[in-house]
C-alpha cells in the first residue's frame, strides 16, 4: 500500500478542479480511491483512479461516464469532473465525484446490531432507494442500472441515500435471448460480449432469472433483458433490509424460490411486495411505479394497489433527463485530455476520519504523479493495479471466517461473501476467491475493519 499512501498531500488538476489528496480510502481490482479536497473551495470530493489497458475497457468506461454526466438528480451521486492520461499501452483515468460521508447501506445495516427496521422505517427507506431507479427507468429509452445492491446506495451529508456506480447501465431492451438460435456472427459476438459484461459487472446474488443460469439453462434463458432486472435486484435489497439476510446465495440463483422467515412482524404487505418483485416471469413482475405505489400504501396504512394495476409512467422526473448523450456532449468527453471513464470501483468505508499527516511526495512506484496532471503528460506506469502486489491490510480472522481452508468462501452474519482477494485466512494461507464477494478496504474509523464491495463502483 506504500505507493498509494505516498500520494497523500499531492496536488493536481482534474478537469477544471485543483485538488489535494487528503486520504487514501481503498482499492479494487483496477482502481484506487482517495478522499481529496478542492483547493479553491475546500469541498471534500472522492477521486477514483483507474486503468484501461484495452479498447473494450475504455469503451465500457466511456459508456459509464456518459451516463453519469447525464444523470443530474438529487438522489444520484453527483458527477464532478474527470481527467485522463494516455500512455503507450494503457490509459489512466481520474474521476471526481461527490463525497458521501455517511457510508453505504450495507455497512450502515451492520452497525444496527440487533435492531431491525420498523414497518414504517423499512417502507420509507426502501422508497427512497426506488426513487433514483424510477428516474433511470423513465428515461427515453429506459435505462437499466443492472447493478442495484445495498453497497451502491451511499448516505450523503444530508442523510439521504444516493445511487452510484453506472458502469453496468444500458439503454432499452437487450435482445440477447436464447429462444431462437443465433444465426449471424454479429449476433453471436454481441451476445458473447454481453455475457462477459454481465459476469464481470453485475453481482451474482442480485441477478434476475433472465440474467442467471438457472437449473442448467443457458444464460439469458428466453427473456429479453429490460429494466425489469432492476426490480428483481430491488426485491433482493428489500428482502435483505427486512430480514437481514439475502434471499439467494452469494454465488447467485440455482432456483428462483425463496422463503419468508416466520415471525417477521411485517404483516402481509412486505411479503406481497416481495412476491411482485421477485417474480420469475418478467411480464408479471412489478414495474418501478407499482413498487413506489406499494410503498406509499404501506406508509399510508392503506391496502396495496391491485397487482398490475399501476401502469408504467412515461413522464420523466426532474431535470437532466435528456435521452441519449448528443454528439456535442460526447465531444466534450474528449476535451479533458481525451477524457472518458470510470468502470466500477472498489469498496470502501466512507466514514473517513481526520486525514493523516501528509506523506512526502515521491515519483517512484510508477503511480501517476499528481503534479503532472495539468501538463497532460504521457506516461506508462510500471505499477500494475491488477496485480495484487500491494493489498490493503486485512485482519487475520475476517467476519464470519472459520477453519483454515485457504480456498473456502467466507460468509458474514448476513450471509454475504466477505472473502477478499489474497486475504489472509485463519490458520494461514491466502483467500483465492472473491469474484462476487466483498473486497477488503482500509477502515478509516477507529472501529474494527469493515467488509464491503460496491461503494462508488463494482469490480469483477
Are the C-beta atoms of residues 137 and 233 closer than 8 Å to each other? no
* 409 labelled binding-site residue: no
Q: Which residue has the cell 444496527?
A: 112
Are the C-beta atoms of residues 33 and 1 closer than 8 Å to each other? no
Burial of 277 from C-beta contacts in 10 A (0-12 / 13-18 / 19+): buried
Spell out the residues 6+ positions from residue 241 whose beta carbon is closer than 8 angstroms to its own.
105, 109, 117, 122, 125, 126, 150
Spell out the residues 6+ positions from residue 393 whose beta carbon is closer than 8 angstroms to its own.
1, 442, 449
Nearest-5° angle of CA 133, CA 442, CA 360? Answer: 120
Burial of 210 from C-beta contacts in 10 A (0-12 / 13-18 / 19+): buried
Q: Which residue has the cell 474528449?
A: 334
First to last CA, the chain: 20
- Tell whether omega for the bond before 137 is within 30 degrees of 0, i.e. cis: no
Helices (H), 142-277: 185-201, 228-243, 269-277
Binding residues for ATP: 48
Binding residues: 48
Amino acid at each position: 500500500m506504500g505507493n498509494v499512501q505516498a500520494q497523500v498531500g499531492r496536488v493536481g488538476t482534474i478537469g477544471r478542479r485543483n485538488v489535494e489528496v487528503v486520504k487514501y480510502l481503498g482499492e479494487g481490482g483496477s482502481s484506487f480511491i482517495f478522499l481529496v479536497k478542492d483547493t479553491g473551495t475546500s469541498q471534500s470530493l472522492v477521486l477514483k483512479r483507474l486503468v484501461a489497458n484495452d479498447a473494450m475497457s475504455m469503451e465500457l468506461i466511456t459508456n459509464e461516464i456518459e451516463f453519469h454526466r447525464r444523470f443530474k438528480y438529487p438522489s444520484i451521486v453527483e458527477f464532478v469532473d474527470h481527467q485522463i492520461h494516455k500512455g503507450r499501452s494503457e490509459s489512466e483515468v481520474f474521476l471526481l465525484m461527490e463525497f458521501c460521508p455517511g457510508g453505504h447501506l450495507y455497512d450502515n445495516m451492520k452497525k444496527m446490531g440487533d435492531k431491525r427496521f420498523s414497518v414504517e422505517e423499512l417502507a420509507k427507506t426502501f422508497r427512497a432507494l426506488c426513487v433514483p431507479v424510477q428516474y433511470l427507468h423513465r428515461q427515453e429509452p429506459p435505462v437499466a442500472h443492472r447493478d442495484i445492491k445495498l453497497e451502491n446506495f451511499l448516505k450523503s451529508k444530508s442523510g439521504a441515500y444516493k445511487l452510484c456506480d453506472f458502469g453496468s447501465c444500458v439503454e432499452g431492451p437487450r435482445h440477447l435471448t436464447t429462444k431462437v438460435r443465433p444465426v449471424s456472427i454479429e449476433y453471436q459476438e454481441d451476445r458473447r460480449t454481453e455475457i462477459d459484461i454481465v459476469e464481470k459487472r453485475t453481482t451474482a446474488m442480485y441477478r434476475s432469472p433472465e440474467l442467471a443460469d438457472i437449473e442448467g439453462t443457458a444464460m439469458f434463458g428466453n427473456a429479453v433483458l429490460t429494466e425489469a432486472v432492476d426490480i428483481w435486484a430491488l426485491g433482493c435489497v428489500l428482502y435483505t433490509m427486512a430480514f437481514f439476510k439475502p434471499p439467494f446465495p452469494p454465488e447467485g440463483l440455482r432456483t428462483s424460490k425463496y422463503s419468508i422467515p416466520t415471525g417477521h412482524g411485517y404483516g402481509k404487505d412486505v411479503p406481497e411486495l416481495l412476491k411482485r418483485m421477485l417474480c420469475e416471469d418478467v411480464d408479471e413482475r412489478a414495474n418501478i411505479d407499482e413498487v413506489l405505489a406499494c410503498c406509499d400504501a404501506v406508509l399510508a396504512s392503506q391496502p396495496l394497489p391491485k397487482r398490475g394495476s399501476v401502469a408504467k409512467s412515461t413522464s420523466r422526473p426532474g431535470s437532466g433527463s435528456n435521452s441519449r448523450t448528443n454528439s456535442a456532449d460526447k465531444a466534450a468527453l474528449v476535451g479533458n485530455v481525451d477524457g472518458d471513464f470510470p468502470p466500477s470501483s472498489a469498496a470502501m468505508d466512507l466514514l473517513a476520519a481526520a486525514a493523516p499527516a501528509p506523506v512526502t511526495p515521491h515519483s517512484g512506484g510508477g503511480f501517476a504523479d499528481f503534479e503532472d496532471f495539468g501538463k497532460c503528460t504521457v506516461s506508462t506506469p510500471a505499477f500494475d493495479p491488477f496485480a495484487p502486489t500491494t493489498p490493503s491490510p486485512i485482519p487475520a480472522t475476517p467476519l464470519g471466517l472459520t477453519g483454515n481452508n485457504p480456498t473456502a468462501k467466507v460468509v458474514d452474519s448476513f450471509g454475504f461473501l466477505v472473502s477478499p482477494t489474497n486475504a489472509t485466512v485463519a490458520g494461514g494461507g491466502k483467500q483465492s476467491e472473491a469474484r462476487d464477494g466483498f473486497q477488503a478496504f482500509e477502515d478509516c474509523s477507529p472501529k474494527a475493519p469493515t467488509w464491503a464491495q460496491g461503494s462508488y463502483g463494482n469490480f469483477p
